[in-house]
A and B are shown apart, each in its own frame.
Chain A
């Protein structure tokens, strides 16, 4: 069973209390962007067997969106963090790199 700690209310939330929001840190390409960029924004998603950064919503709780970094292979959770960031914070990166030294996420170092 997957359990994530909501960074807003501090509750250790069971998977059934949460709603999955897909891949995190997408850059939006809207009007005036190229067709390729728009297609990528709409459809191109990472699907790693390993470390994944995702958006989750504590839907049956405080209702807030947040981010989580976890491993899809082992279900290990590296941490959860605020929704108001565009990249994983340093402590989350450190936690991931402790287990996966070569980890990269798209174009983020």
Chain B
């Protein structure tokens, strides 16, 4: 069975367009790293692999496909190109050997979506209890919350579009939610559109 889903994202090529656009992101490498986030060894290995600075509480630092996201007081999510995960994971195990930590490759257990367009915030606002206003949810913030019935996390990328990740098992549900919330004609116009 494994060959059916390995090296293939949850909903390859899934896309929907309304007042905002929803696309499946495709394969991306992801490693959960848990440990003492104040320890310099953990910080160094995370920033080394992520290629960005260490984020603070609720922070995410990203450059292209690489990112380090703060997920909880003892958890980071490292993102990188899919092909680099095994090497990165080996590097973590080697660097942190003997310390109290946990690192796991979660690339194939996540699904990712990109919600783009000037009204992308509105799509999220319809689905989550989290505050996604520009003041509460600027670039550099990652929010773990819910979309409809399931957990999800989201942040703004460099272009100002919203990236969403959820568990792979609910990828179809989350895509349908986002696509439905983005249907043309269903704009609410709550947030002012940036120029």
Q: Of A9, A14, A60, A63, which is within 8 A of B58 by CB?
A: A9
Residue A8, interface by CB 8 Å: yes
Task: Write out, one digit per residue, whether chain A residues 59-70 have a CB within 8 A of any chain B CB (1) or not (0).
Answer: 011111000000
A98 an interface residue at 8 Å Cβ cutoff? no
CB pair B73–A62 under 8 Å, yes or no, is yes
A10 contacts chain B at the CB level, 8 A cutoff: yes
Q: Is A11 an interface residue (CB 8 A)?
A: yes
A10: chain B residues within 8 A (beta carbon): 57-58
Q: Could you tell me the distance between the alpha carbons of A87 and B144 in the complex, rounded to whole angstroms? A: 29
Interfacial residues of chain A within 45-76, with CB under 8 A of chain B in the complex: 60-64
Whole-angstrom CA separation of A13 from B145 in the bound complex: 9
1/0 per residue B103-129: CB within 8 Å of A? 000000000000000000000000001
Number of A-B residue pairs with CB-CB distance less than 8 Å in the complex they form: 37
Query: What residues on A are CB-neighbors of B67 within 8 Å?
Result: none
Name B's interface SS: strand
Selected from A8, A17, A64, the residue in CB contact (under 8 A) with B145 is A17
A63–B151 Cα gap in the complex (Å)? 11
Is there a chain A Cβ closer than 8 Å to B133's Cβ? no
Enumerate A34-50 residues with CB–CB distance to B below 8 Å: none
Residues of B near A12 (CB, < 8 A) are 131
CB of B8 closer than 8 Å to a CB of A: no
Chain A: interface secondary structure?
loop
Answer whether residue B28 sits at the interface, using C-beta atoms and an 8 A cutoff.
Answer: no
Residues of B within 8 A of A14 (CB): 129-130
Judged by a CB distance under 8 angstroms, whether B66 is at the interface is no
Q: Are B57 and A16 in contact (CB under 8 A)?
A: no
Q: Contacts A14-B129, A60-B151 given; indicate if A9 touches B145 (C-beta within 8 A).
A: no
- Chain A residues near B75 (CB-CB < 8 A): 62-63
CA of A41 to CA of B150 in the docked complex: distance in angstroms? 33
B145, A63: Cβ atoms under 8 Å? no
Binding site for B on A (CB under 8 A): 8-14, 16-17, 60-64
A-B pairs with beta carbons under 8 Å apart, 30 shown: A8-B72, A8-B73, A9-B57, A9-B58, A9-B72, A9-B73, A10-B57, A10-B58, A11-B143, A12-B131, A13-B129, A14-B129, A16-B129, A16-B146, A17-B129, A17-B130, A17-B145, A17-B146, A60-B144, A60-B146, A60-B151, A61-B72, A61-B144, A61-B145, A62-B72, A62-B75, A62-B144, A63-B72, A63-B75, A64-B72
Known contacts A16-B129, A60-B144; 6 further A-B pairs (Cβ under 8 A) = A8-B73, A9-B58, A16-B146, A17-B146, A60-B145, A64-B72
A-B residue pairs, 8 tightest by C-beta: A14-B129, A62-B72, A60-B146, A60-B151, A61-B144, A8-B73, A63-B72, A16-B129
